[in-house]
Amino acid sequence: MRGRDILVPMSVTMDTLVSLCKRRGFVFQSSEIYGGTGSCYDYGPLGVELKQNIKRLLWRDFVQSRADMVGIDASILMHPTVWKASGHLDHFTDPMVDCRECKLRFRADHVDALPWTHYCPATKGNKFTIPAGEPCAHCGARRTLCPDCGKGQLTAPRQFNLMFKTFMGPVEEDASVAYLRPETAQAMFVNFDNVLQSMRMKLPFGIAQAGRSFRNEITPGNFIFRTREFEQMEIEYFVNPRDAVEGRPADEYWHDRWIADCMAWFRRYGLREENLKLREHDRDELSHYSKRTVDIDYRFPIGWSELMGIANRTDFDLKQHSKFSGKSLTYFDEERKEHVVPYVIEPAMGVDRALLAFMADAYVEEEVRGEKRVVLRFHPELAPVKVAVLPLLKKREEIVRAAHAIRADLAKQWRVVYDDTAAIGRLYRRQDEVGTPYCVTVDVQTVGDSEKGEAGDGKVTIRDRDSMAQARVPIDALPGVFHDLLGGGAWAQVAARLERQIQK
RNA sequence: GCGGCCGUAAUUCAGUGGCAGAAUGCCAGCUUCCCAAGCUGGACGUCGCCGGUUCGAAUCCGGUCGGCCGCUCCA
């Protein structure tokens, strides 16, 4: 860590992570052989496993396991009016200049066409309003400062095209302009009524979606933390604002409930308590649609930054889309016999940021017998590879054959690899560095020694990543044991149970 | 967008005008049944890219792409 974050030093720097990610096939820079493409990254063989695990767990825990949640997968290109209604298009299509004093914002090409305020030095600073484009009649000066307050410097013109623009169809004309979505949320508002009708949903209920979004960020950087193409997992949870839960308005109750659930989710899969905190948005920081927003901040190698935002978007979006589309986007409240526009709570997570956080938090360096051991202590459900099958001797054909058979059998259920290209110590270290929670080692005892006429015992050694402890189990028992271990069973407990079984 | 620093093997880095280097890693063989062991051999680079100066450029100059830091920005 450098500079401001020395108070609580991180165990890993961004440089170390970037290097590990490349060396071990997690993340590569996009188009690297051409010199790289700014702010774009590719997930490698292990990165894609990790990312898919994150998305799978989100989907399982927040969609599949809940009766009040459903998912959609919308197209990235949407009707241009969607972005008009959402407010994304309004302020960010033209070059803008800002006054550094009064903070007003002007279209750069319109500034000179505005009458301007002038404190004239030739008349002891008297204030004049001078017609557009004309110089001051007293001192001859032309406008250089803010036309409104007459005091502040204007910033250089900036093109606030935060959305990626493209064209539908082969002909580039204004009529065919389309945008790559800057957030996945809008598709869920636009499909609100479709989902409501087709699934016969009752409030409160939520729609979830995971997918790519695109923003022309002004300042991308910090590896995969802020990129212009990124992946989101968003939930729009619709509630009836007229309802009360536990004596509070439903939207406020559910907002807090989602904040707690999301925090618990990150903790469950390994982020440490001391690296997580909630951050309430100040009033002037709130987005135009938001009543209240709370971020879950994580202590990244670059310092505390947003991992997830949970906003109360009120009925802003449904009302906007109703207005622009002319379609009713309401819910019929049977009890009150009235139509209501639901409020919406929006938990929105950056999947890439979550991946970075899980990696940073999992990374540890230990000293083992005077040597450095690098370990990614991934939660087993997140680990890109669940089990590595390693022959202790690759010269013994029976051992190699048995190891391959074990890999093939376990691979029906999990991502399992085989490796025999180094001594056992090195093989373990390799798996440690990519976070494989368990290794299975096949040895002479397993298969027996035909020359000596000794029969094998059909047992293999399981080695635990974090404790480096071992337990010997029958090959037949492996699927069951890993079902327990990879499903969240603690090594110590499972190993102790194995001991008891073996003694019987 | 502005300013500063940087770009050499898979990684970390040395080399600052004269033959492209080290360590680690990787591959093969021998060896070794349990935590980066040893021995032998091997592969790996248009020195980010393009142009210029020079007898000669990784090295100097210009441009460009990419990265980091600071400022600005961040509905």
As a rounded value in angstroms, the CA-to-C1' distance for A374 and B42 is 28
Model confidence band, residue A293 (pLDDT cutoffs 50, 70, 90): very high
Sign, Cα dihedral of A393, A398, A401, A404? negative
As a rounded value in angstroms, the CA-to-C1' distance for A300 and B50 is 38
pLDDT over 60 (residue A504)? no
From residue A400, give the alpha-carbon distance in Å to each of A26, A336, A445, A479. Answer: 28, 71, 13, 19
Mean pLDDT of A426-449: 95
As a rounded value in angstroms, the CA-to-C1' distance for A358 and B35 is 25
**Closest CA-bearing residue to C1' of B49:** A35
Considering chain A, what percentage of its residues have pLDDT values greater than 70?
A: 91
Model confidence band, residue A447 (pLDDT cutoffs 50, 70, 90): very high
In the complex, which nucleotide's C1' lies nearest to the CA atom of residue A365? B36
Nucleotides on chain B that have an atom closer than 7 A to a protein CB are 1, 7, 10-12, 25-28, 30-38, 48-49, 65-75
Mean pLDDT of A301-328: 94
Model confidence band, residue A103 (pLDDT cutoffs 50, 70, 90): low
- CA separation for the pair A175, A45 (Å, rounded): 41
Model confidence band, residue A216 (pLDDT cutoffs 50, 70, 90): confident
As a rounded value in angstroms, the CA-to-C1' distance for A103 and B4 is 29
pLDDT at position A374, please? 93
pLDDT at position A4, please? 27
| CA angle (A40, A41, A45) in 5-degree steps | 160
As a rounded value in angstroms, the CA-to-C1' distance for A72 and B37 is 54
Strands A338-340 and A343-350, by their bridges, are: unpaired
- Predicted structure pTM score: 0.87
pLDDT digits (tens, 9 = 90+) for A59-95: 999 999 999 999 999 999 999 999 999 988 876 555 6
Strands (E), A63-172: 69-71, 95-98, 105-107, 116-120, 126-130, 158-159, 164-167
pLDDT digits (tens, 9 = 90+) for A235-257: 999 999 999 999 999 999 999 99
pLDDT over 90 (residue A132)? no
In the complex, which nucleotide's C1' lies nearest to the CA atom of residue A20? B11
Mean pLDDT of A452-469: 91
In the complex, which nucleotide's C1' lies nearest to the CA atom of residue A105? B75
Residue-averaged pLDDT of chain A: 88
Lowest mean pLDDT among A93-107, A387-401, A407-421: A93-107
Lowest mean pLDDT among A37-51, A150-164, A319-333, A430-444: A150-164
Give the residue, A315 or A287, on which the prediction is more confident: A315
Helices A478-486, A491-503: inter-axial angle, 10-degree rounding: 150
In the complex, which nucleotide's C1' lies nearest to the CA atom of residue A87? B75
pLDDT at position A96, please? 65
pLDDT over 80 (residue A287)? no
pLDDT at position A7, please? 33
pLDDT at position A1, please? 25
Lowest mean pLDDT among A301-305, A313-317, A381-385: A301-305
pLDDT digits (tens, 9 = 90+) for A296-305: 999 999 888 9
pLDDT at position A388, please? 97
H or E stretch at A29? strand A27-29
Mean pLDDT of A22-46: 92
pLDDT over 90 (residue A145)? no
Lowest mean pLDDT among A136-140, A213-217, A276-280: A136-140
As a rounded value in angstroms, the CA-to-C1' distance for A163 and B63 is 30
In the complex, which nucleotide's C1' lies nearest to the CA atom of residue A162? B75
Q: Which residues of A29-40 are buried (b: 16+ CB within 10 A; e: fewer)?
A: beeeeeeeeebe
Strands (E), A247-302: 248-249, 276-280, 292-300
As a rounded value in angstroms, the CA-to-C1' distance for A23 and B9 is 13
Question: Which amino acid is present at A256?
Answer: D
pLDDT at position A159, please? 58
Mean pLDDT of A444-453: 84
pLDDT at position A105, please? 64
Give the residue, A110 or A89, on which the prediction is more confident: A89
- Please report the ipTM that was assigned to this predicted complex: 0.92
H or E stretch at A418? strand A416-418
In the complex, which nucleotide's C1' lies nearest to the CA atom of residue A155? B72
pLDDT at position A116, please? 79
**Closest CA-bearing residue to C1' of B68:** A222
pLDDT over 90 (residue A50)? yes
As a rounded value in angstroms, the CA-to-C1' distance for A32 and B46 is 16
As a rounded value in angstroms, the CA-to-C1' distance for A48 and B39 is 39
Nearest to A375 by CA among A267, A291, A466, A304: A466
pLDDT digits (tens, 9 = 90+) for A322-375: 999 999 999 999 999 999 999 999 999 999 999 999 999 999 999 888 888 999
Tokens representing A274 are: 């001391």
In the complex, which nucleotide's C1' lies nearest to the CA atom of residue A36? B66
Surface-to-core class of residue A460, CB atoms within 10 Å of its CB (0-12 exposed, 13-18 middle, 19+ buried):
buried
